[in-house]
Amino acid sequence: MADAYLKSLQLDGVEVFSSGTVAQSFIDTNVPVSPLALDVIAKDGRGVFAKHTRHQLLKDDLREDDITVCVNQRVADDFTSIHMKLPKNVIIWDVADIDEPGRIPKKPEDYDRLFHDIYYEITTNVDELVKSFQN
């Protein structure tokens, strides 16, 4: 969601790459990317920027001059589980993902609302990040 939104802003000199610290562990159990997440992005008019597959973060994906964003502390902690050290330019947000504490659906119809909430928090954080670099 964050990568689609940031890509849609089409900022000069900004390259966006998204991957997961534990994406590989979900390859067999999940659809490539949640259709509900893709639907939320599409409803915002940014569907063309959404990726439809997961990518496992690899050491070669990180460069020293990159800014790495972790959507929450859990993701930052996952770096150690894949034997990687957090990069020096890391930003850690506080956005709970679906099925994490604070975002556990109690009934099927909760998923749509929760994905919208996640998208709102992500877009707010992206907007703040972009503003911080423009100042």
Domain at 84, CATH number: 3.40.50.2300
pLDDT tens digit string along 27-38?
555 544 588 889
> What pLDDT sits at residue 4?
93
Q: CA 1 to CA 122: how far, in whole Å?
A: 7
Residue 132 lies in a domain: no
Which domain does 43 fall in, by range? 2-126
Given pLDDT bands bounded at 50, 70 and 90, which one contains residue 18? confident
**Is the confidence at residue 72, as pLDDT, over 60?**
yes
Percent of the chain residues topping a pLDDT of 70: 85
For residue 41, what pLDDT is reported? Answer: 94
Largest CA distance in the chain: 43
Q: What is the mean pLDDT of the chain?
A: 84
Distance CA 48, CA 51 (A): 8
Long-range contacts of 30-38 (CB under 8 A, 24+ apart): 30/54, 34/98, 34/115, 36/111, 36/112, 36/115, 37/1, 37/115, 37/118, 37/119
Residue 53 lies inside a defined structural domain of this protein: yes
Enter the pTM of the model. 0.84
- Structural domain total, the chain: 1
Q: Which helix (H) or strand (E) holds 134?
A: helix 110-134
Residue 133 in any domain: the answer is no
Residue 12 within any structural domain of the chain: yes
CA distance 91 to 70: 6
* Contact assessment for residue 90 and residue 68, using Cβ atoms and an 8 Å cutoff: yes
